Chains A and B, each alone.
Chain A
């Protein structure tokens, strides 16, 4: 009995150490974010600030540049999430409930697109939006983000839809509900965890996206957070504390949301392979 307890204590210690290893870089981020400007360039460098200047966070929140990037990120992420759900729900529902010619081809196409990141296609994407005159528009960023989260959303939603017994839907249909009403009133509420997972995944993917935004959004007023905050540290200015204060503001909500859907992530990302 005592040996077992000792064993568990040992595992806990190892676990804490492991957690520290993964969090250590982000602790450096937090400490740097709280340093006054003068302490950024001390030699030898100190890990923690001498004076904890938490007002750095307030300053960043008050920076008009940061407010612009935050607004762009929120608008783009919210719009692309809405678009993902609008497109994924009917597709997931139909493929979960019906067999039809082209179904295999459709699901195959989804699997293949999930493997591609917009980075690989960025030259083609840039050509497309350049020719359509959509450089520096939210629309370009929104549809791109939506398209690359679509496969995950369809996969997660399909699994939830398929697990709802058909009898429930049939009963509703007998009661005179049309197919769309069945979907909206019965299927979606019953698949709420799946919908939440798809929403959070699509939102985070858009929120974190960098390459396409870097390429398409050259107008300073149209840059999202990921691209905007890098201007705190350039060859000419090095506001590492502002960069990291902004980064922390950007990542805390995302980490919390991610933790909420953690259980469903692996299934969605390894689509088609994990049953």
Chain B
């Protein structure tokens, strides 16, 4: 059906028509803001947001001199590292469990969907209430279970804030991760296990030598996507850390947001410099991801 005389240029024009709306969206709402971000990081703005000219790399120099930066970077490393590691470990168990067939399995799958489908801001508010020192249910429950002998101000005490936030972070990351690993497990053909059984391998041995190696691609995908999601994650820290002044428990994303939009600071240039750093970090993770899944066009 394809006309032999149709020129290559005409084909490309056709392609452009079909892809045009998508390209316009990506160009207008992803690439252009990225360009704006870089430009803002090299500029100075008034408190009301008016452009006041270029300042070169001065915003970056200022960023690296910010007193809060080392804390914020350390928080981000802990936030991302612990959530991803703990989520992966628990999800391995959950996926293994859901891979078995038993009455009620559907119910468990549906239960997992609830935290996944719920807006993060709603789940975050919910945990603010659950953690509440005076009226939250967590303290009395833990006291009744004799885990605690006195109530803890989970979101007000410097020692517990990060742990409390990370717990919520793990809670909302589990469903997606479990589903990815479950898909990976279900893709492993049954006769591989059969062969291991015939060879007399123990359950643990089968798990280590058969399941884990075959699950490697799914594990890597889940890990890298989780890293990207958790680096980007905003509502949990924004909401649970709301009461605490300063930047003691902020991650790079919430720190950036506070610099840009919290009334007292409103330093667009500085926030943009940090934004560029965030974008670069995520780009690195994306490239690792693409290498990991060995993305090729023919696979796409």
Contacts and interface: CB of A to CB of B under 8 A. Distances in A.
A143 B130 contact: no
Nearest to A213: B121
Contacts of B17: 90
A41 B40 contact: no
B119 interface: yes
Nearest to A105: B297
A95 B279 CA distance: 28
B282 interface: yes
B215 to A, nearest CB: 12
B207 interface: no
Interface residues of A, number: 104
Contact of A113 (B26, B49, B289): B26
A147 B176 CA distance: 22
Contacts of B33: 121, 124-125, 127-128
Contacts of A207: 119
The secondary-structure label for the interface of chain B is helix
Contact of B26 (A32, A147, A259): A147
Nearest to B35: A124
Interface in B102-147: 102-105, 107-123, 125-127, 129-130, 134-137, 140
Contacts of A26: 114-115, 118, 126
Nearest to B217: A273
B73 interface: no
Interface in A105-137: 106-113, 115-117, 119-128, 130-131
B280 to A, nearest CB: 10
B94 interface: yes
B119 A12 contact: no
A12 B102 contact: yes
Contacts of B221: 270, 273-274
A45 interface: yes
B118 A100 contact: no
B102 A45 contact: no
B289 A115 contact: yes
Interface string A194-230: 0000000000100111110001000000000011011
B272 A247 contact: no
B64 interface: no
A211 to B, nearest CB: 5
A254 B125 contact: no
A88 interface: yes
Contacts of B299: 272, 275
Contacts of B256: 123
Which residue, of B105, B125, B136, has the highest number of chain A Cβ atoms within 10 A?
B125
B30 A15 contact: no
Interface residues of B, number: 104
Given A121-B37, A255-B118, A113 B1 contact: no
Contacts of A15: 97, 102, 104-105, 107-108
B260 interface: yes
Contacts of B180: 266, 269-270
Contacts of A258: 113, 116-117
A107 B26 CA distance: 12
A255 B122 CA distance: 13
A16 interface: yes
A251 B118 contact: yes
B272 A123 contact: yes
Contact of B22 (A112, A127, A130, A150): A150
Contacts of A12: 102-104
Given A26-B114, A127-B268, A90 B18 contact: yes
Contact of B117 (A87, A110, A254): A254
Interface stretch (A17-25, A52-60, A62-70, A184-192): A17-25
Interface of A: 8, 11-12, 14-16, 18-20, 22-23, 25-26, 28-29, 32, 40-45, 47, 83, 86-88, 90-91, 93-95, 98, 100-104, 106-113, 115-117, 119-128, 130-131, 143-144, 146-148, 150, 154, 158, 170, 173, 204, 207-211, 215, 226-227, 229-230, 233, 240, 243-244, 247, 250-251, 254-255, 257-259, 262, 265-267, 269-270, 272-275
**Which 5 residue pairs of A and B lie closest in terms of their CB atoms, listed nearest first?**
A124-B37, A124-B33, A147-B29, A273-B293, A19-B111
5 contacts: A19-B107, A25-B171, A90-B22, A270-B293, A273-B292
Interface of B: 1, 8, 11-12, 15, 17-26, 28-30, 32-40, 49, 94, 97, 100, 102-105, 107-123, 125-127, 129-130, 134-137, 140, 171, 174-176, 179-180, 182-183, 187, 217-218, 221, 225, 228-229, 232-235, 253, 256-257, 260-261, 268, 271-272, 275, 278-279, 282-283, 285-286, 289-290, 292-293, 295, 297, 299-300
